Amino acid sequence: MIGFCDEDYDVCVTSFGSNETLSFDSLEQIAKSGVTDAQYCLAVVYHEGKNVPRDRVKAASWYLSAGQRGHLEAQYWLCVIYREGIGVEANALESLYWCERAANRNHPSALYALGQWYYGGYGRNKFTDYLNAYIWFSRAVMAGEEAGADMIRLLEDQMTDLQILEASKLLERGLP
């Protein structure tokens, strides 16, 4: 996961910095005033350790602040950090909650993550659900997440023709 936020950091510098630098103190002040994008940027700064010591606990806290205010990328990162226990205690239900929030807004990586949830049987549900995995991976591909295509091919080798047909019909109807 290290380095995944670099592009977001560049956007943060453009949005909240000057002369291609980002003042941590200025960003923190803006974030504390309740500006959602600044909260997300502060999370990225802590997550990546950009000009501050890396602090995944503080990153998680700022992701949560931004995610609760509707920041899409923050919601996706909450999905990841709760699933993996990065800066927070791993919590499958909390991770699933944030994955669903971001996926419902068509975030490609969140759609893919939900496919993995159903394929891998995370958390309390240790059983795989190929039908729902197929649907979520398909939605991820439609949203631009190319890795979903590989998972669909894998699933097609593991599913019956009837299951694939059922998943396709559900997908056409916009379900789940």
- The residues with which 21 forms a beta bridge, in sequence order, are 18
Q: Which tokens belong to 60?
A: 């998680």
Quote the pLDDT of residue 1.
40
pLDDT of 125 reads 57
Q: Is residue 121 a contact partner of residue 128, using CB atoms and an 8 Å limit? A: yes
Considering the entire predicted model, what is its pTM?
0.88
Cα separation, 38 vs 28, in Å, equals: 8
Between CA 30 and CA 49 the distance in angstroms is: 19
Domain 1-104 in CATH 3.40.309.10? The answer is no
Residue limits of CATH 1.25.40.10 in the chain: 1-104
User: SS3 for 110-121, per residue?
Assistant: HHHHHHHHHHHC
Within 10 angstroms of residue 5's Cβ, the number of other Cβ atoms is: 23
Spell out the per-residue pLDDT of the chain, length 176, in tens.
444 566 787 788 878 877 677 788 889 999 999 999 999 999 999 998 988 999 999 999 999 999 999 999 999 999 999 999 999 999 989 999 999 999 999 999 999 999 999 998 775 556 788 999 999 999 999 999 999 999 999 999 999 999 999 999 999 998 87
Task: Give the C-alpha separation, 10 to 22, whole Å.
Answer: 9
